[in-house]
A = this chain, B = another copy of it.
């Protein structure tokens, strides 16, 4: 019965969550700590080591742990490094996987959070049994993980699958973080939806909208969603437009890797049909006939609060013994 558990660690800019998971995706125990309180990665790792050692003892010690999986911003699967992550305080290249492996003496793999989400979905969620699918995370940003031939695509350098940064409208909206114009993330993220609403409010002064009751800096994806649910036409058009841009992007992705399914995860999916109807419509419209009416559009089957730990933990099952 040894080696039947995996540790999952998800490093976010603000907090880190971690837990111990069995092969069926049950989280046996978990915890949380601040990432951003630590100016140095060394003190961060000391605290994490303390928390996790206790959890590992609770489940019977390191002999029961097959591996540690880590999801981290700009995480490179091949090197196990975090490389120049803009939203972490630790600058440059951090050899995080080998540092953790040194502390725990347990095999450790690391990748970015969207890739971890894809492996999690393949192991425990909506993509079980699939060999070809694309995971898209629609949150503050837009992330992605691509699986083909049953394997995650890491590319030659470990950084494949940055579909949020694909240009969907050449010369379009400026992305303040990257300087790119017209990238998917500028439209299909929480910030993108907010910016679309603000643009619509400016450009259509004659259109009444519940959103006009808010000062501009209080307009958020949450406020837009609530207005849309109440039937506000401008808010609904924001989703229609976002869905069009996302659907066109998905069509291009399908013609790249011809996945069995595209699995969507994150805040934007809560808008349900408001966004999914235009997504499907514009995806199908932009596909070559041989690809039409074949690709499943699915939502993640992992509980949002568990997904980060599960995704990271799933990396451990992929390790060769």
- A interface vs B, CB < 8 Å? 74, 83-84, 130-132, 146, 148-149, 151, 153-163, 165-170, 178, 180, 248, 251-253, 255-260, 286, 288-291, 294
Copy number in this complex? 2
The 8 residue pairs across chains A and B that have the minimum distance between CB atoms: A155-B258, A160-B258, A156-B260, A132-B156, A162-B255, A166-B252, A148-B153, A165-B288
B259-A166 in contact (CB<8A): no
Query: Smallest Cβ distance from A225 to chain B, in angstroms?
Result: 26
Contact partners of A158 in chain B: CB under 8 A: 258
B290-A170 in contact (CB<8A): no
A257 and B159 in contact, given A167-B248, A286-B180 (Cβ under 8 angstroms): no
A132 and B155 in contact, given A170-B168, A170-B169, A290-B74 (Cβ under 8 angstroms): yes
B258-A166 in contact (CB<8A): no
Residue of B nearest to A295 (CB): B156
A161 and B256 in contact, given A155-B148, A167-B251, A169-B170 (Cβ under 8 angstroms): yes
A286 and B167 in contact, given A149-B149, A149-B151, A256-B253 (Cβ under 8 angstroms): yes
Pick the residue among B131, B148, B252 that contacts A148 (CB under 8 A): B148
B288-A162 in contact (CB<8A): yes
A255 and B163 in contact, given A83-B290, A149-B151, A180-B286 (Cβ under 8 angstroms): yes
